[in-house]
């Protein structure tokens, strides 16, 4: 019952020409074919449902028109917004984008990278699981052009193209917003991770406090895992008799958990506690009051990552400068001015 897929021979027969001519029509090379013959071949191919075998074709070094994006979380708007932008740029250049999710597991990432390498994709944008460079090396060895997204790699790897945003600035700006409103006792909620991004946000928080002459209180820095439950746990632990404000420096599931945890303790924002959130979840203006946020440059990042990759696909030795985009303040109603 399994039918045989149409081959180049079937197309040649149906359009009354040679397989060589069909092959020319489907190759990307500039070879003159009479317009009406080209049309006839394309028509026959369409009717038969012929699809060129990229597998065989790529053995001859032809591009396949496929770029991969490897991200650590599929359920995080931050990454899907970046992906949407990458797709839009790549599509205009004639590429199809495939997305793979590592769930921040280095083992899963290894499997994905090896499969993609063996598929001979044209290029790859990768946000390394747990910020490790192991699988990046596989891309390097196999000469797959790639751009590292969002998570910087330290030391080990050869010099690479990077597109990210300023995590230090986001921590700094969130904290400064609260300081400017007169808060002095400010908590920082994040997650435990080997990834530099959170550490950079925390450094920004500390730098802002330091500038204001305020000592860092380690008891007010709460770290847990990335889940909604973790957010609830941190809200439960929050010393609200001491702090008047907090920076939510983390994933949206956690942020949601934190807000639900505050509700459970019957704590209102901004009355009982002021909040600045790093990131802009879909619900930031649906919750009441709306959240004051630090907006990350998802669009700019996606656009830059795709453009750099496309240049590298064309010219493997192409090197770009590092792109680290600034964040932006986004006004909301979750910060209250302290009397004083």
- Residue ranges binding a second copy (CB under 8 A): 1-3, 5-6, 48-49, 51-59, 64-66, 68, 74-75, 77, 80-81, 83-84, 87, 91, 96-101, 103, 108, 111-112, 114-120, 137-138, 141-143, 252-253, 256, 259-260, 281-283, 285-288, 316-317
Closer to a second copy by Cβ: residue 90 or 179:
90
Neighbour count for residue 36 (Cβ, 10 Å): 8
Structure tokens of 83? 């992906």
> Nearest to residue 85, comparing CAs of 296, 301, 302, 324?
302
β-bridge mates for residue 123, sequence order: 67
Closest separation between CB of residue 286 and a second copy, Å?
5
Q: Is the peptide bond before 95 cis (omega within 30 degrees of 0)?
A: no
Closest separation between CB of residue 142 and a second copy, Å?
5
Report the alpha-carbon distance of residue 235 to residue 237 in Å, rounded. 5
Closer to a second copy by Cβ: residue 38 or 256:
256
Closest separation between CB of residue 289 and a second copy, Å?
10
- Non-local CB neighbours of 136 within 8 Å, separated by 6+ positions: 126, 128, 146, 148, 153, 157, 160
Closest separation between CB of residue 18 and a second copy, Å?
22
- Non-local CB neighbours of 303 within 8 Å, separated by 6+ positions: 85, 86, 89
Structure tokens of 203? 């450094």
Closer to a second copy by Cβ: residue 209 or 313:
313
- Non-local CB neighbours of 53 within 8 Å, separated by 6+ positions: none
Closer to a second copy by Cβ: residue 88 or 185:
88
Closest separation between CB of residue 250 and a second copy, Å?
15
Q: What is the DSSP string of 234-269?
A: HHHH--TTT-SEEEE-S-HHHHHHHHHHHHHTT--T
Closer to a second copy by Cβ: residue 31 or 264:
264
Closer to a second copy by Cβ: residue 39 or 47:
47
Closer to a second copy by Cβ: residue 4 or 34:
4
Closest separation between CB of residue 100 and a second copy, Å?
6
**Four-CA torsion 13, 18, 21, 26, nearest 10 degrees:** 40
Closest separation between CB of residue 278 and a second copy, Å?
17
> Nearest to residue 197, comparing CAs of 232, 231, 149, 161?
149
Closer to a second copy by Cβ: residue 90 or 249:
90
Report the alpha-carbon distance of residue 302 to residue 97 in Å, rounded. 12
Closest separation between CB of residue 325 and a second copy, Å?
21
In a 13 Å sphere around the CA of 235, the CA atoms on its Cβ side amount to: 26
Closer to a second copy by Cβ: residue 18 or 53:
53
- Non-local CB neighbours of 195 within 8 Å, separated by 6+ positions: 130, 131, 151
Closest separation between CB of residue 109 and a second copy, Å?
10
């Amino acid at each position: 019952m399994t039918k045989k897929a149409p081959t180049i021979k079937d197309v040649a027969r149906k359009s009354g020409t040679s397989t060589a001519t069909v092959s020319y029509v489907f190759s990307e090379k500039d070879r003159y074919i009479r317009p009406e013959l080209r049309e006839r071949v394309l028509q026959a191919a369409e009717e038969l449902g012929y699809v060129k075998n990229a597998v065989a074709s790529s053995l001859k070094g032809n591009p396949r028109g496929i770029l991969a994006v490897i991200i650590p979380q599929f359920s995080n708007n931050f990454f899907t917004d970046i992906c949407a932008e990458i797709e839009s740029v790549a599509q205009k250049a004639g590429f199809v984008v495939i997305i793979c999710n590592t769930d921040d597991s280095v083992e899963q990432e290894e499997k994905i990278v090896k499969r993609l390498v063996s598929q001979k994709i044209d290029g790859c944008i990768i946000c390394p699981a747990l910020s490790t460079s192991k699988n990046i090396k596989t891309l390097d060895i196999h000469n797959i052009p790639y751009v590292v997204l969002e998570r910087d790699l330290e030391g080990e790897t050869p010099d690479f193209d990077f597109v990210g945003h300023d995590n230090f600035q986001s921590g700094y700006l969130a904290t400064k917003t609260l300081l400017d409103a007169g808060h002095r006792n400010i908590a920082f909620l994040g997650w435990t991770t080997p990834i530099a991004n959170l550490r950079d946000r925390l450094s920004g928080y500390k730098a802002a406090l330091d500038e204001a002459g305020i000592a860092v209180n380690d008891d007010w820095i709460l770290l847990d895992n990335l889940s909604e439950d973790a957010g609830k746990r941190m809200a439960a632990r929050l010393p609200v008799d001491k702090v008047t404000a907090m920076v939510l420096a983390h994933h949206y599931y956690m942020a949601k958990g934190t807000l639900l945890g505050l509700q459970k303790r019957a704590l209102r924002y901004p009355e009982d506690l002021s909040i600045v959130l790093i990131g802009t979840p879909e619900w930031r203006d649906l919750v009441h009051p709306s959240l004051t946020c630090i907006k990350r440059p998802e669009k700019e990042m996606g656009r830059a990552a795709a453009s750099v990759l496309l240049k590298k696909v064309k010219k493997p030795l192409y090197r770009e400068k590092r792109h680290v985009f600034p964040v932006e303040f986004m006004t909301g109603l979750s910060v209250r001015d302290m009397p004083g």
